[in-house]
Amino acid sequence: MENKNDDKLLEIKNLRLHFSTRGGTVQAVDSVNFELKRNHATVVIGESGCGKSSLAKAVLRLLPRNIKTYDGQVILAGEDIMALDDETFRRTIRWKRISMVPQAAMNALNPVMRIGEQVAEPAMVHLSLTKKEALQQAVRMFEQVGVPTDFVYRYAFELSGGMRQRAALAMSLVTLPDLVILDEPTSALDVLTQASIMNLMKRVKNQLETSFILITHDIATSSELADSVAVMYAGQIVEVSDAFQFFSAPLHPYSRKLMASVPRLRMDVEPEFITGQPPSLINPPTGCRFAARCPARFSKCDEEPPMLQIGDRQVKCWLHA
């Protein structure tokens, strides 16, 4: 359907999503630039409250009522989907091209509808399948993600947390979209389930050639799946790198701190933490937003750093200028 030679699936340019609240304007997503290749998985990492989930919502245009600014470009396979009107967006983008597994997948299922029906729904709406065909498709997806197939006739409350998560994943894949956005899909699960779901996504990625954006603060688990990494801090992306280079040598001081905070099993290294809190997204500091907590800050940090290109990596830090 699309131009297969162009291996750029998604390109986000200057995406901004600001909310107006009683306290002021929250700059949840501020001038984010970001690219994703076909059949790639990008992990977006960062602390809680740095705008990761808002980024996901901005891409799928799932906006709360109090938006103040929402602009920029989201280019999906060469087409700026920000320019589409709401109805076209609903019909042609949502779930047909981009689907998601939400943060609280446990609550993402309607309690009074059978799981299969909910999983099959997008296939009926977007692929114009009959109910029976769509249910068959749902059952196939259940097999893919390791949900017992008779669960299509169950209700959400009859499923364990891990099973619901898998069902949500099956739902996100049912229309075989180009891109699946996973918003902390494993954060509510135990480590064994986390591992099996990560393996599952790896397998799905290879078999269905889906691209993933995985939003998480769980660096260790996400390293399993990641082809590239984007680090988000205070509403901005501060580092983009391929996964291998990132995990061996992160560039941005914040990335380094994040990596250092991961507990190690065998090594005698204390996990570090970053002192202080991320800045409020209402009136974020001018200059580098991480400066206040940065161990390597110097005079230049009062000015906003540009996104620097270092080889095929990008970093927003004066240290690398």
Partner 1 sequence: MSQEILQPEFSDEVFSQDVDLDEMRATERKAKRQATVRMIRYTLLKLLALIFTVAVGVYFTVLIANMGGYVDEIRRGQIRETIVLAASLDPEFRQLPESERTAIIEQRVANEEARYGLDRPFILRSFSYLADAMTLNLGFSQQLSSDSGSRLVRNIILERLPSTLVLFGTSNLLLFFISLFFGLTLSRRYGSISDKLVLGLAPTSAAPAWFYGLFLILIFAGLFSLLPFGGMVSAPPPDNPLDYSLSVLQHMILPVGAWLISGIFLTIYQWRTFFLIYASEDYVDMAKAKGLTDRMIERRYVLRPTLPNIITQFALLLITLWTGAIILETVFNWPGIGQLYFRAIGVFDIPVILANTVVYAYLLALTVFLLDFIYALVDPRVRIGGGGEKS
Residues that bind partner 1 (CB under 8 A): 60, 62, 65, 90-91, 93-96, 99-100, 102, 104, 107-113, 121-122, 125-129, 132-133, 135-137, 139-140, 143-144, 149-150, 152-153, 155, 157-161, 171, 175-176, 207-208
Closest CB 232 distance from partner 1, rounded Å: 21
Closest CB 166 distance from partner 1, rounded Å: 15
Half-sphere exposure of 240 (CA within 13 A, CB side): 15
Judged by beta carbon, residue 159 or residue 219, the one nearer partner 1 is 159
Judged by beta carbon, residue 98 or residue 291, the one nearer partner 1 is 98
Judged by beta carbon, residue 74 or residue 109, the one nearer partner 1 is 109
The Cα angle at residue 148 between residues 145 and 149, in degrees rounded to 5 = 95
Q: Distance between CA 14 and CA 158 in Å, rounded?
A: 43
Judged by beta carbon, residue 12 or residue 134, the one nearer partner 1 is 134
Instruction: Retrieve residue 68's tokens.
Output: 């103040």
Indicate the angle between helix axes 131-145 and 115-126, nearest 10 degrees. 120
Judged by beta carbon, residue 168 or residue 251, the one nearer partner 1 is 168
Judged by beta carbon, residue 199 or residue 286, the one nearer partner 1 is 199
Judged by beta carbon, residue 178 or residue 239, the one nearer partner 1 is 178
Closest CB 89 distance from partner 1, rounded Å: 8
Closest CB 196 distance from partner 1, rounded Å: 17
Q: Distance between CA 229 and CA 294 in Å, rounded?
A: 20
Using alpha carbons, select from 259, 298, 257, 264 the residue that is nearest to residue 278: 257
The dihedrals phi and psi of 164, each to the nearest 5 degrees, come to: -65, -40
Closest CB 94 distance from partner 1, rounded Å: 3
Question: How many beta carbons lie within 10 A of that of residue 31, not counting itself?
Answer: 14
Judged by beta carbon, residue 150 or residue 312, the one nearer partner 1 is 150
| Residue 67 CB partners (closer than 8 Å, separation 6+) | 17, 18, 19, 20
Closest CB 214 distance from partner 1, rounded Å: 17
Contact 186, 216 (CB under 8 A): yes
Closest CB 57 distance from partner 1, rounded Å: 9
Closest CB 128 distance from partner 1, rounded Å: 6
Sheet order of strands, 67-76 included? 24-37, 8-21, 67-76, 79-80
User: By CB neighbour count within 10 A (0-12 exposed, 13-18 middle, 19+ buried), where does 130 fall?
Assistant: exposed
Computed from CA positions of residues 36, 224, 61, 85, in that sequence, does the dihedral angle turn out positive or negative?
positive
